[in-house]
């Protein structure tokens, strides 16, 4: 009986080891740089915690996200541009939603906006495109201030930057 349990544990450990090795190698292939192992591990742990968090599961299953209007869209766009390393973020395309109760003093918001890449240069000509190149998705903490609802720029974290084709 102990032999069977040992085999199952060994198979699980081998599965996790091969999964992690595959993750690190694919990260190296996609980004062409060495992986930040601690950063990747932290990201995996935080995502797993989010998946199994009872509050998040209940909120996602019970209600749709509520759109919110903030007063500091330009500052948020500049911070998203800096953190995501794109050349511009479209304030007009910014979509801010939350799953939490907006009556709370502080609540988490999800921010989506279109991002632009640097102009392409071919044979001395600069081609400026009006088409967005990226979709930038971020989260941050919002709270009500004297002049309305504001997102604290210091709490903004980039969730993903998606390349648009």
Tally of structural domains, the chain:
2
- Based on the domain organization, do 116 and 145 belong to the same domain? yes
> In the predicted model, is pLDDT for residue 129 greater than 90?
no
Q: Is 60 within a domain? A: no
Position 74 in a domain = yes
Over the stretch 44-90, which tens digit does the pLDDT of each residue have?
A: 888 888 777 776 666 556 667 888 888 888 888 888 888 888 878 88
Q: Is the pLDDT of residue 159 over 60?
A: yes
More reliable by pLDDT, 126 or 152: 152
In this structure, is residue 59 part of a structural domain?
no
SS3 string, the chain, reads CHHHHHHHHHHHHHHHHHHHHHHHHHHHHHHCCCCCHHHHHHHHHHHHHHHHCHHHHHHHHHCCCEECCCCCHHHHHHHHHHHHCCCEECCCCCEEEECCCCCCCEEEEEEEEEEECCCEEECCEEECCCCCCEEEEEEEEEEEECCEEEECHHHCEEEEEEECC
Q: Is 122 in the same domain as 97? A: yes
Q: Are residues 34 and 107 in the same domain?
A: no
pLDDT tens digit sequence for 96-105: 988 887 788 8
User: Within this chain, do residues 122 and 94 fall inside the same structural domain, yes or no?
Assistant: yes
Q: Is residue 23 part of a domain?
A: yes
The answer to whether position 58 is within a domain reads no
pLDDT of residue 67: 85
Together in a domain, 85 and 47: no
- Shared domain for 8 and 81, answered yes or no, is no
The pLDDT-based confidence of 116 (bands split at 50, 70, 90) is confident
In a domain, 149, yes or no: yes
pLDDT tens by residue, 14-50: 998 898 888 888 888 888 888 888 888 888 888 888 7
> Is residue 125 a part of any domain in this protein?
yes
């Amino acid at each position: 009986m102990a032999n069977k349990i040992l085999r199952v544990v060994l198979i699980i450990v081998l599965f996790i080891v091969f999964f992690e090795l595959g993750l690190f190698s694919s990260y190296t292939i996609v980004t062409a740089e060495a992986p930040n192992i601690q950063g990747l591990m932290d990201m995996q742990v935080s995502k797993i915690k989010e998946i199994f968090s009872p509050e998040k599961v209940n909120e996602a299953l019970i209600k749709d996200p509520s759109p919110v209007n903030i007063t500091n869209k330009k500052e948020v766009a500049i911070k998203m541009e800096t953190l995501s390393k794109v050349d511009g973020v479209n304030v007009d395309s910014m979509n801010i939603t939350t799953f939490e109760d907006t009556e709370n003093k502080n609540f988490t918001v999800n921010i989506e906006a279109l991002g632009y890449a640097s102009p392409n240069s071919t044979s001395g000509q600069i081609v400026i495109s009006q088409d967005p190149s990226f979709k930038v998705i971020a989260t941050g903490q919002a709270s009500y201030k004297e002049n309305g609802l504001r997102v604290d720029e210091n709490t903004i974290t980039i969730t993903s930057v998606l390349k648009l084709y």
